[in-house]
Amino acid sequence: MNAKPTLARPQFLPCFIAALLSGAISTGLLGAVGGLFHSDGMPFGKAVAAERSCRDHAFLSEREACVRRELAGSIGAVVASAPRAPFVPGARVLRARSR
């Protein structure tokens, strides 16, 4: 009889597969959460800045309207200041073909 108990060693391949699977799942979950933060299209910093600039309003309805105005103004400024492609005289414009 063997007086010294020994534990069975786990096989390498199942442990490696489990580690790969857990890494893929955690990467997918982290990417999904990050995508949820970016899906709104408005950076969180702009929302916080709008909230801070409108904190002097006493009523919630006034504060919400102020935040909407601030965010609409910042989005409009971003769209208005978006860089445009330079105009090159004589350049051909590529258009999608209609079918």
Residue 13: helix, strand or coil by DSSP?
A: helix
Question: In the predicted model, is pLDDT for residue 68 greater than 60?
Answer: yes
Contact 54, 63 (CB under 8 A): yes
Calpha distance 48→43 (Å, rounded): 9
Q: What digits encode the pLDDT tens for the residues 39-57? A: 566 677 888 888 899 989 8
**Amino acid sitting at position 11:** Q
Calpha distance 72→79 (Å, rounded): 10
pLDDT at 1: 61
Question: In the predicted model, is pLDDT for residue 25 greater than 90?
Answer: yes
- What pTM, to 2 d.p., does this model score? 0.38
Calpha distance 30→8 (Å, rounded): 35
pLDDT at 17: 96
Question: In the predicted model, is pLDDT for residue 75 greater than 60?
Answer: no
